[in-house]
């Protein structure tokens, strides 16, 4: 497949994706060196973070969750940002990823006895137990397939209808997760454990390192940081590859792109599949990190939460998705619950900030869209497009003035 | 009875949208296309008829348990259970129809799925219930008092939600008129969450029961063994006049004409001296007012309100609008009634916990089989 070949370094600028992205497109040799050095420093700094903060402060926990959100935002950014397909049902892939872990990394399927490269403790337990990396692969595969299924009916639809169909799929998956206890698979096993949750899921285990414990957060951090780097690399390589350019072409003008020979069906479905696979990997990580897969987690609000990250970071911008994911992750898991939660109480209001967190994100969405629609770290194309369009506030409705296109 | 649009419009300029709007189809032979169009419509109708026909036949052949008398189940072989499902579904559908009209009007005129619309409906319910105490409406109020009070509540609620909808348009959508289509859609989602949290702070996070003002579950008369409850009559007593008033307004007044013209081609309408901005505001006012009316009926009929009701209602009503054909007022009413029946069938036969999934499955089926809906969509792109 061509897009895979793109990952395998097809051109002479290959292999420096992260460095190149930090320095923008192309650039002279010294600049390339500089950006590569910058990327190296960032990676080393990222690896060193756990040595600076203790587990107790809650900051490490928030960081791990924020990075996992950033991974999700990167996945959604492919679908919404690069390919321009507004997906409001992204929570479906969170759910499927988490359930991949629940299915293949716990005692949930108690009748089965499958053990592949798992810790000595897990290898004597009933159920399906796969190594966490295999679970990641399974989650990615399941979600990619689901992404294609969700993508198929939307191929012929207009942009805003895509939003509704994906939303509907996300809700159907959510309903199925909640009511999964009544879906029998035979042998007394059910599809999900509903709101009871699948608990006692396996911790990641790697031969030579051992199982991850819940007391030491560092291995978790390095694991999700590693996942982030891999996903980031894939994203950056795809952006400039044939596939990434095809996504942008379809987003900008579908008719023109198709007439230039961009395969519509394959390109769109690949956007859904790759975006879904990334979301599923992050979902599997969340499953094992939260040590539970509970149907109550998979609400529509989560889709909007991830979408807010992509939009606040800057639609289509890879670094924007990372920054947006980290930012909202910290706001949601550190700032609102730990730092600002008592704030309304100080003003004599009888609610807590955690109650209205989705309202806060909604507000951020509106503010971002009205004041800075290009996001914090805009993609170049979007920046041009959005800043050119906004000042003409009182201009003609629906149609662009002459010369703007 | 003029729907929002009926004339063929010129194609509209659409150069910088993020989501391309023109669906591309591979060249197919004319015969295949004709067959496909035919199949699309009839397969949708078949899909819609499947549930009632299946359960109707099943009731007649296998019977259903109508009651338990002295420990023995009483099995009936007739259609009155199906009739009951229909009666309940149609009156639920009246509420969805009122909300769906708001979606369809707004989509017809600015091609935006107003995600916040369902939450405007929720605010409508909250406003209506909030008004009862100051107006002195309660269980002990006399019949005329309740009737008069409800009419007053209805008018105030419609004014409040209409204004709220206009305000949302002014703050969240108007600044983004020329931005890519995705932008107002996202602010709409944002506003939906803001309104939900307003509701959450207003009346707390759990469903609240409200006074059963009209004793909604009390049967008034029976047709073919199907009891017609007071709640059903209320739903239709509010919905039918409002829909007639709306179609008259759109079809026969100057402002309605301006709405139709703006829906067809905003640029040309502006050149003809129509104030496009105030016409759009008017559309939001009408849509919001109808949602408020829906909210009142919902509160009186369900006697239960909570901040999350708008989200689900909004999605159901949007499904209804798409099913009827978006931009098409009659379609929205038809779609609302059909969705109501599907919902009620699913509630009573499949199980209420699956209803949401059933409705969404229908939404996807519509998108696949016949994206332009039963009565045909009336938007700029459909022409």
Beta bridge mates, A129: A105, A115
Here the tokens at position B92 are 């639920």
Please report where in the chains the tokens 């402002």 appear, as a residue.
Answer: B255
Return residues 52-91 of B near A (CB < 8 Å): none
Look at residue B191 and tell me if it is in a domain: yes
pLDDT in tens, chain B (383 residues): 444 444 334 344 444 444 444 555 555 567 777 777 777 778 888 888 888 888 888 888 887 877 777 778 778 777 888 888 898 899 999 999 999 999 999 998 888 888 899 999 999 999 999 998 888 887 777 888 888 889 999 999 999 999 999 999 999 899 888 877 778 888 898 899 999 999 998 888 788 888 888 787 888 888 877 888 888 888 999 999 999 999 999 999 999 999 999 998 889 999 999 999 999 999 999 999 999 999 999 998 888 898 989 988 998 998 899 888 888 899 999 999 999 999 999 998 888 888 889 999 988 888 888 888 888 777 776 54
Q: Considering CB atoms only, which of B12, B354, B371 is closest to A179?
A: B354
Where residue B322 sits, what CATH number does that domain have? 1.10.3470
| Nearest C-alpha in B relative to A300 | B311
Predicted TM-score of the model (pTM): 0.81
Taken in order A24, A25, A28, A30, is the CA torsion positive or negative?
positive
Instruction: Indicate the number of domains in chain B.
Output: 1
Q: How much is the ipTM here?
A: 0.79
Distance CA A90, CA A301 (A): 10
Here the tokens at position B237 are 């007593």
Please tell me whether residue B65 adopts helix, strand or coil conformation.
strand
Which distant-in-sequence residues (6+ apart) come within 8 Å of A9 by Cβ? A15
User: Over the range A174-192, which residues count as b (16 or more CB within 10 Å of their CB) and which as e?
Assistant: bbbbbbbeeeeeeeeebbb
| Nearest C-alpha in B relative to A357 | B197
Return residues 126-155 of A near B (CB < 8 Å): 153-154
Within A8-131, residue ranges assigned H as helices are: 17-22, 29-52, 59-76, 91-104
Domain membership of residue A111 as a residue range: 56-298
Distance CA B315, CA B251 (A): 28
CB contact under 8 A, B15 and A400: yes
Which distant-in-sequence residues (6+ apart) come within 8 Å of A317 by Cβ? A77, A81, A375, A377, A378, A379, A382
Instruction: Indicate the number of domains in chain A.
Output: 1
For residue A401, the 8-state DSSP code is P
Look at residue B357 and tell me if it is in a domain: yes
The pLDDT score that the predictor gives to residue B9 is: 40
CB contact under 8 A, B187 and A162: no
Look at residue A81 and tell me if it is in a domain: yes
Look at residue B1 and tell me if it is in a domain: no
Query: Could you give the maximum distance between any two Cα atoms of chain B, in Å?
Result: 76
A103 and A290 in contact (C-beta within 8 Å)? Answer: no
pLDDT tens-digit series, residues A57-104:
778 889 999 999 999 999 999 999 899 888 989 999 999 999 999 999
The pLDDT score that the predictor gives to residue B26 is: 52
CB contact under 8 A, B315 and A168: yes
Distance CA A364, CA A369 (A): 8
Phi and psi, residue A90, nearest 5°: -65, -20
Vertex B272 angle, CA B270 and B275, to 5° = 40
Please report where in the chains the tokens 């007593």 appear, as a residue.
Answer: B237
Element (H, E) at B151: helix B143-168
CB contact under 8 A, B189 and A311: no
Look at residue B9 and tell me if it is in a domain: no
Whether B25 has its CB under 8 Å from any CB of chain A: the answer is yes
Look at residue B29 and tell me if it is in a domain: no
**Hey, what long-range contacts does B66-75 have (CB within 8 A, 24 or more apart)?**
none
**Distances in whole angstroms, Cα of residue B49 to Cα of each of A110, A198, B59, B126, B339:** 41, 38, 15, 35, 12
Please tell me whether residue B55 adopts helix, strand or coil conformation.
helix
How far off is chain B from A284, nearest CA to CA, in Å?
Answer: 24
Domain membership of residue B182 as a residue range: 54-61+79-369
The pLDDT score that the predictor gives to residue A111 is: 78
Whether A164 has its CB under 8 Å from any CB of chain B: the answer is yes
**Distances in whole angstroms, Cα of residue A316 to Cα of each of A161, A266, B343, B378:** 20, 20, 39, 32
- Terminal CA-to-CA distance of chain B, rounded, Å? 19
Beta bridge mates, B160: none
Look at residue B307 and tell me if it is in a domain: yes
CB contact under 8 A, A389 and B16: yes
In which residue ranges of chain A is pLDDT below 50? Answer: 1-24, 389-405
Question: Which residues of chain B make contact with A356, given a CB cutoff of 8 A?
Answer: 197, 200-201
How far off is chain A from B120, nearest CA to CA, in Å?
Answer: 15
Distance CA B158, CA B156 (A): 5
The pLDDT score that the predictor gives to residue B28 is: 53
The pLDDT score that the predictor gives to residue A71 is: 96
Distance CA A224, CA A68 (A): 6
Look at residue B37 and tell me if it is in a domain: no
Within A152-212, residue ranges assigned H as helices are: 159-178
Quick one: how many helices (H) and strands (E) in chain B?
12, 6
| Nearest C-alpha in A relative to B311 | A300
Beta bridge mates, B209: B304
Closest to B326 (Cα-Cα) out of B109, B94, B43: B109
How far off is chain A from B335, nearest CA to CA, in Å?
Answer: 16
Distance CA A50, CA B269 (A): 62
B98 and B293 in contact (C-beta within 8 Å)? Answer: yes
Whether B367 has its CB under 8 Å from any CB of chain A: the answer is yes
Element (H, E) at B219: strand B219-223
Q: Considering CB atoms only, which of A161, A176, A365 is closest to B189?
A: A365
Whether B17 has its CB under 8 Å from any CB of chain A: the answer is yes
Distance CA B194, CA B199 (A): 9
| Nearest C-alpha in B relative to A365 | B190
For residue A152, the 8-state DSSP code is G
For residue A153, the 8-state DSSP code is G
Whether A253 has its CB under 8 Å from any CB of chain B: the answer is yes
The pLDDT score that the predictor gives to residue A55 is: 67
Look at residue A2 and tell me if it is in a domain: no
CB contact under 8 A, A251 and B20: yes
How far off is chain A from B376, nearest CA to CA, in Å?
Answer: 15
Quick one: how many helices (H) and strands (E) in chain A?
16, 8
Here the tokens at position A77 are 């950014």
Please tell me whether residue B43 adopts helix, strand or coil conformation.
helix
CB contact under 8 A, A365 and B12: no
């Amino acid at each position: 497949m061509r897009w895979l070949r793109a990952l395998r370094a097809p051109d002479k600028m290959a292999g420096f994706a992260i460095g190149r992205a930090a320095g923008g497109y192309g650039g002279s040799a010294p600049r390339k060196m500089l950006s590569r050095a910058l990327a190296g420093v960032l990676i080393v700094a990222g690896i060193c973070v756990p040595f600076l903060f203790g587990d107790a402060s809650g900051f490490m926990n928030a960081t791990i969750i924020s990075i996992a959100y950033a991974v999700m935002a990167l996945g959604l950014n492919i679908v919404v940002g690069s390919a321009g397909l507004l997906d409001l049902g992204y929570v479906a892939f969170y759910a499927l990823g988490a359930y991949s872990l629940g299915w293949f990394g716990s005692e949930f399927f108690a009748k089965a006895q499958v053990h592949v490269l798992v810790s000595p403790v897990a290898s004597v337990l009933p159920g399906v137990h796969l190594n966490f990396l295999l679970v990641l692969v399974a989650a990615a595969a399941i979600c990619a397939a689901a992404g294609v299924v969700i993508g198929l009916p939307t191929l012929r639809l207009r942009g805003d209808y895509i939003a509704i169909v994906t939303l509907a799929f996300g809700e159907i998956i959510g309903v199925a997760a909640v009511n999964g206890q009544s879906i029998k698979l035979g042998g007394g096993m059910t599809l999900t454990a509903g709101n009871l949750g699948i608990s006692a899921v396996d911790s990641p285990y790697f031969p030579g390192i051992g199982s991850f414990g819940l007391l030491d957060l560092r291995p978790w951090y390095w694991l999700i940081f590693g996942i982030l780097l891999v996903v980031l690399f894939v994203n950056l390589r795809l952006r400039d590859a044939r596939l990434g350019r095809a996504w942008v072409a379809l987003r900008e003008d579908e008719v023109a792109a198709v007439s230039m020979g961009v395969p519509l069906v394959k390109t769109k479905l690949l956007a859904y599949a790759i975006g879904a696979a990334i979301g599923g990997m992050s979902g599997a990580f969340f499953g094992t990190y939260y040590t539970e897969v509970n149907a109550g987690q998979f609400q529509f609000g989560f889709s909007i939460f991830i979408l807010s990250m992509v939009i606040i970071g800057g639609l289509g911008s890879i670094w924007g998705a990372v920054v947006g994911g980290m930012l909202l992750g910290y706001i949601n898991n550190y700032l609102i619950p730990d730092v600002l939660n008592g704030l309304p109480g100080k003003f004599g209001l009888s609610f807590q900030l955690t109650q209205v967190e989705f309202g806060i994100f909604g507000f951020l969405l509106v503010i971002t869209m009205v004041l800075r629609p290009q996001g914090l770290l805009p993609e170049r194309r979007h920046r041009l497009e959005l800043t050119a369009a906004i000042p003409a506030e009182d201009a003609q409705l629906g149609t662009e003035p002459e010369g703007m296109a | 009875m003029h729907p929002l649009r009926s004339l063929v419009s010129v194609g509209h300029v659409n150069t910088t949208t993020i989501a391309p709007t023109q669906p591309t189809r591979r060249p197919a032979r004319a015969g295949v296309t004709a067959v496909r169009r035919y199949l699309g419509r009839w397969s949708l109708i078949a899909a819609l008829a499947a549930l009632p026909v299946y359960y109707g036949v099943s009731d007649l052949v296998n019977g259903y348990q109508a009651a338990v008398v002295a420990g023995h189940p009483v099995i009936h072989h007739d259609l009155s259970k199906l009739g009951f499902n229909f009666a309940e579904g149609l009156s639920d559908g009246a509420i969805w129809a009122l909300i769906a009209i708001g979606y369809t009007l707004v989509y017809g005129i600015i091609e935006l799925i107003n995600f916040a619309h369902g939450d405007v409906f929720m605010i409508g319910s909250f406003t209506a219930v909030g008004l009862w105490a100051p107006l002195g409406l309660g269980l002990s109020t006399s019949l005329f008092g309740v009737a008069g009070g409800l009419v007053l509540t209805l008018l105030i609620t419609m004014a409040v939600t209409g204004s709220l909808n206009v305000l949302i348009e002014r703050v969240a959508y108007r600044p983004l008129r020329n931005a890519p289509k995705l932008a107002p859609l996202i602010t709409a989602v944002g506003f939906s969450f803001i309104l939900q949290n307003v509701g959450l702070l207003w009346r707390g996070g759990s469903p609240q029961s409200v006074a059963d003002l009209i004793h909604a579950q009390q049967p008034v008369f029976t047709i073919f063994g199907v009891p017609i409850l007071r709640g059903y009559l209320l739903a239709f007593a509010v919905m039918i006049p409002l829909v007639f008033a709306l179609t008259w307004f759109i079809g026969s007044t100057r402002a309605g004409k301006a709405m139709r013209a703006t829906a067809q081609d905003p640029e040309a309408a502006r050149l003809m001296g129509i104030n496009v901005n105030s016409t759009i505001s008017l559309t939001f006012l009408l849509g919001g007012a109808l949602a408020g009316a829906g909210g009142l009926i919902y509160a009186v009929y369900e006697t239960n309100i909570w901040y999350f009701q708008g989200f689900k209602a909004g999605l159901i009503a949007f499904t209804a609008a798409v099913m009827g054909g978006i931009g098409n007022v009659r379609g929205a009413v038809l779609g609302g009634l059909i969705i109501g029946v599907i919902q009620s069938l699913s509630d009573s036969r499949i199980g209420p916990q699956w209803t949401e999934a059933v409705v969404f499955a229908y939404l996807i089926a519509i998108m696949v089989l016949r994206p332009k809906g039963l009565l045909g969509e009336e938007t700029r792109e459909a022409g």
